[in-house]
């Protein structure tokens, strides 16, 4: 009886995983998408019915087919950089480092007018690491408080902001599915962009809710974090990788990159529930200027300031107004530059 129950649970687990695998990676194409999952579930039901009668034959057959499915999954469902991509992820950021100078290719700087109306601009930009002045975490929410898209922005004292975002690389006609993210539906991309693109499209076009947090880092860590992003982007150009909703998403990739720079960062459930990253960072002492995470959230919410900003060139400046740890004083008249006021963590 115990053996039958254990085998039954294994069949149920294999039935669920296999049906979803067939659904999100349909071997017969999208027109016949429902056929393989339905056949798989019918076989699992037959195996369970056989177990209930004391027969292990169909359960054994199901186990053999499950092994075959796993082999197909491992050998045939492979990531690629050669697909028909959505225009906003059609190119991959990559770069080179020469001393303290970083040259990035395919920095996205789209002019978004609506979800479907935009001017495409992919640029090559040069950044001087000796002028790196700040690091900000941006979180964009679209409904549920526990889930947000996390992006990191590097500020330079010449007025530039370089935004890195870990993205799903969606194919044409793809729709986002969190469950599909567990089943190799999307490739992974590390995208460099301007804030007027990646942040502005979320607040001013998609209607998302944006929050900004000035992050204090050990001396030299911001430089190493930026270089880690560049190295990761370069690796994905050479060797594509699948996005995974649990192990390779925007928050977990940020953690892995940061852990390379500051080893020993504690693991925490809030790295998976990215909407609660501010509480995690506050507990580490990486956020200052407010007396609680809740106060930091209130002051860091830049949504209304963003939507009121029609001039894209003023976007970076305006979203930082009132954010704890940031002052609106513009040194030397440089537009859009807001400097960190706390000393770095030692």
For residues 237 and 198, state if they share a domain: yes
Q: Cα–Cα distance between 157 and 331 in angstroms, integer?
A: 9
Model pLDDT for residues 109-151, shown as the tens digit of each residue: 999 999 999 999 999 999 999 999 999 999 999 988 888 899 9
* Of the residues 16, 45, 76, the one at which a domain ends: 76
State the pLDDT at residue 261.
64
Q: Is the pLDDT of residue 268 over 70?
A: yes
Phi/psi for 94 (5° steps) reads -150, 160
Those residues whose C-beta lies under 8 Å from the C-beta of residue 183, and which sit 6 or more positions away, are 20, 21, 23, 24, 25
49-78 average pLDDT score: 93
Percentages (nearest 5) of helix, strand, coil residues in the chain: 45, 20, 35
Model pLDDT for residues 38-62, shown as the tens digit of each residue: 999 999 999 999 999 988 999 999 9
Domain range for 44 is: 1-76
DSSP 8-state code for residue 166? E
* Of the residues 13, 47, 76, the one at which a domain ends: 76
For residues 190 and 233, state if they share a domain: yes
For residues 127 and 164, state if they share a domain: yes
Structure tokens at 182: 């567990």
Structural domain count of the chain: 2
Answer with the residue of higher pLDDT: 28 or 131: 131
Among 31-35, 39-43, 217-221, 341-345, which stretch is predicted with the lowest mean pLDDT? Answer: 341-345
pTM (predicted TM-score): 0.84
Three-point CA angle 83, 88, 93, nearest 5°: 80
* Of the residues 22, 44, 76, the one at which a domain ends: 76
Those residues whose C-beta lies under 8 Å from the C-beta of residue 200, and which sit 6 or more positions away, are 112, 306, 312, 315
CA-wise closest residue to 161 among 341, 24, 3, 317: 317
The answer as to whether 339 is a domain residue is: no
For residues 247 and 101, state if they share a domain: yes
For residues 36 and 122, state if they share a domain: no
Q: Cα–Cα distance between 247 and 256 in angstroms, integer?
A: 10
Q: Is the pLDDT of residue 333 over 90?
A: no
Model pLDDT for residues 216-229, shown as the tens digit of each residue: 888 898 999 999 99
pLDDT band of residue 343 (cuts 50, 70, 90) is very low
Query: What size, in residues, is the chain?
Result: 346
* Residue reference for tokens 């852990």: 259
State the pLDDT at residue 270.
83
Q: Cα–Cα distance between 230 and 250 in angstroms, integer?
A: 15
For residues 255 and 109, state if they share a domain: yes
Structure tokens at 318: 């305006």
Q: What percent of the chain has pLDDT over 70?
A: 93
């Amino acid at each position: 009886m115990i053996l039958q129950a254990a085998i039954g649970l294994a069949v149920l687990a294999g039935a669920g995983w296999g049906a979803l695998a067939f659904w999100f990676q349909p071997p017969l194409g999208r027109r016949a998408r429902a056929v393989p999952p339905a056949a798989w579930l019918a076989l699992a039901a037959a195996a369970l019915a056989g177990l209930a009668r004391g027969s292990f034959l169909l359960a054994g057959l199901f186990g053999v087919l499950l092994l075959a499915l796993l082999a197909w999954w491992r050998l045939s469902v492979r990531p690629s950089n050669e697909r028909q991509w959505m225009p906003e992820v059609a190119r991959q950021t990559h770069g080179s480092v020469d001393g303290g100078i970083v040259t990035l290719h395919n920095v996205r700087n789209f002019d978004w007018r609506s979800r479907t109306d935009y001017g495409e601009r992919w640029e090559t930009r040069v950044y001087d690491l000796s002028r790196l002045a700040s690091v900000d975490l941006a979180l964009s929410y679209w409904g549920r408080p526990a889930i947000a898209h996390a992006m990191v922005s590097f500020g330079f004292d010449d007025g530039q902001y370089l935004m890195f975002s870990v993205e799903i690389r969606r194919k044409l006609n793809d729709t986002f599915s969190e469950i599909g993210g567990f089943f190799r539906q999307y490739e992974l991309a590390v995208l460099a962009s301007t804030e007027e693109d990646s942040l502005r499209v979320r607040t001013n076009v998609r209607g998302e809710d944006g929050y900004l947090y000035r992050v204090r880092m050990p001396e030299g860590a911001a430089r190493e974090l930026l270089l880690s992003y560049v190295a990761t982007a370069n690796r994905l150009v050479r060797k594509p990788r699948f996005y995974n909703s649990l192990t390779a998403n925007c928050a977990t990739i940020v953690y892995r990159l940061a852990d390379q720079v500051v080893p020993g960062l504690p693991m925490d459930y809030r790295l998976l529930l990215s909407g609660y990253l501010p509480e995690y960072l506050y507990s580490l002492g990486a956020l200052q200027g407010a007396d609680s995470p809740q106060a930091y959230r209130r002051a860091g919410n830049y949504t209304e300031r963003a939507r009121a900003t029609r001039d894209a060139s003023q976007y970076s400046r305006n979203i930082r107004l009132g954010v704890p740890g940031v002052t609106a004083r513009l040194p030397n008249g440089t537009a859009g530059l807001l400097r960190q006021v706390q000393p770095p963590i030692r």
